[in-house]
Amino acid sequence: MRVSIDSATCQGHGRCYDLAPDLFGEDEEGYATLTALTADGEVPAGREGDVRLAAANCPESAVLVHEEARL
């Protein structure tokens, strides 16, 4: 699974970094960032649920989840 932040729609509500503070962070203005764990856009194994939860709670739908077909 891959994840990214749509910085054009993120308004800094912070639901993503409230719910998964190791997967999402805030920049100095409160907008969402990826973290060391997600910097390459890859969701660490076993953390797919947390990413989906963050996406489902973002009021602006700015956490973009890219599900991949299972091989």
Partner 1 sequence: MTVDDRFTEEARQQRIAESQLGTVNEIITGPVKDWTTDFSHFEEEYAENAIQIWDDLRGRCPVAHTERFGGAWLPTRYEDVQAIAYDTEHFTSRAIIISNVRPPLDIAPVGFAPPISSDPPFHHDARKLLLPAFTKANVAKQAVTTEAFCHSLIDGFAGRDVVDAATEYGMYIPMRVIADMLGFPQEDTEKFTRFVENVLEGANDPIEERQERGMALSNYLFEQVRDHIDNPRDDLTTYLLNAELYGQKLEPQHVVGTMTLLLIAGIDTTWSAIGASLWHLAKNPEDRKRLVEDRSLRPKAVEEFLRAYAPVTMARLVKEDVELGGVQMKKEDWVLLPFPAANRDPERFERADEVVIDREVNRHAAFGLGIHRCVGSHLARMELTVALDVWLDRVPEFSLEDPAAVRWSAGQIRGPRALPLRIG
**For binding to ligand SF4 (CB under 6 A), which residues are involved?**
5, 10-16, 32, 58, 60, 62-63
Residues with Cβ within 8 Å of 52's Cβ and at least 6 positions away in sequence, in order, are 65
The residues in 37-66 that bind partner 1, with binding defined as CB under 8 A, are 53, 56-61
Site membership for partner 1, residue 33 (CB under 8 A): no
Which one of ligand SF4, partner 1, none is in contact with 3 (Cβ closer than 5 to 8 A by kind)? Answer: none
Euclidean distance between CA atoms 17 and 58, whole angstroms: 10
Residue closer to partner 1 by CB (options 21, 44) is 21
Rounded Cα gap, residues 6 and 31, in angstroms: 10
